[in-house]
A and B are shown apart, each in its own frame.
Chain A
Amino acid sequence: GAVVSQHPSWVICKSGTSVKIECRSLDFQATTMFWYRQFPKQSLMLMATSNEGSKATYEQGVEKDKFLINHASLTLSTLTVTSAHPEDSSFYICSAPVTGGGNPEAFFGQGTRLTVV
């Protein structure tokens, strides 16, 4: 199947700093990527839809100025957590759908565990 690579897999940062998370589709092009957030022992919540060549679409309640998304190319989307605070500590996962002549299938990155201290 298709491969989505997410980097870094874990990061620890100080409060007030910014952290960038990359999501790459390695063997296919993705005009759309999705960013999810997962709190401990909870389900995944969609944060935003990243669109190549246009602005990201954010879900209700997600601060777009805090979670900056850039879809720089057909294989790369980045999520930047700006001025991070401890409450931003979470597991962030990206996914990209592969639409190959039928219903699309989503492939997920490995996830990034962010800890803000």
Chain B
Amino acid sequence: GDSVTQMEGPVTLSEEAFLTINCTYTATGYPSLFWYVQYPGEGLQLLLKATKADDKGSNKGFEATYRKETTSFHLEKGSVQVSDSAVYFCALSGRAAGNKLTFGGGTRVLVKP
């Protein structure tokens, strides 16, 4: 079945540092890929998405490129802020799975001033 693997956290960074969170997937067909963010005590918010190979999703300074050849969707941000402290989830959704989302384990990011 479908699966998503992302790097374990926690990841602790200083403000303005570069952030990368690795995400790889296995899936049948051509899934859509997502990054969700969860701030403390809140539900999930879609951060960005990509629906086909070589697509780049971007939002709030975050970027991720759909790499079919490496089955990856790594999340990057060039200069993090304290407000980026959250848990980040990589996920995929495929029509073959009835559009259900399969999530990675989540990566907790803590940005210190």
Residues of A within 8 A of B (CB): 1, 6, 32, 34, 41-44, 46, 49, 93, 95, 97, 99, 102-111, 113
Interface residues on B, range: 20 to 34
Cβ of B110 to closest chain A Cβ, rounded Å: 13
Identify B105's interface contact among A43, A105, A106, A113, CB under 8 A. Answer: A43
List chain B positions with a Cβ less than 8 A from chain A: 32, 34, 36, 41-46, 49, 51, 89, 93, 98-106, 108
Q: Which B residues lie within 8 Å of A1 (CB)?
A: 46
- Are A41 and B89 in touch, CB under 8 angstroms? no
B100-A34 in contact (CB<8A): yes
Besides the known contacts A43-B104, A104-B32, A106-B99, 16 further A-B residue pairs in the complex with CB atoms under 8 A apart:
A34-B100, A34-B101, A44-B44, A44-B103, A46-B101, A49-B100, A93-B44, A97-B99, A103-B51, A104-B99, A105-B49, A106-B101, A108-B36, A109-B43, A110-B42, A113-B41
A111 contacts which chain B residues (CB < 8 A)? 42-44
A91 CB → nearest B CB, Å: 9
A42 and B105 within 8 A (CB): yes
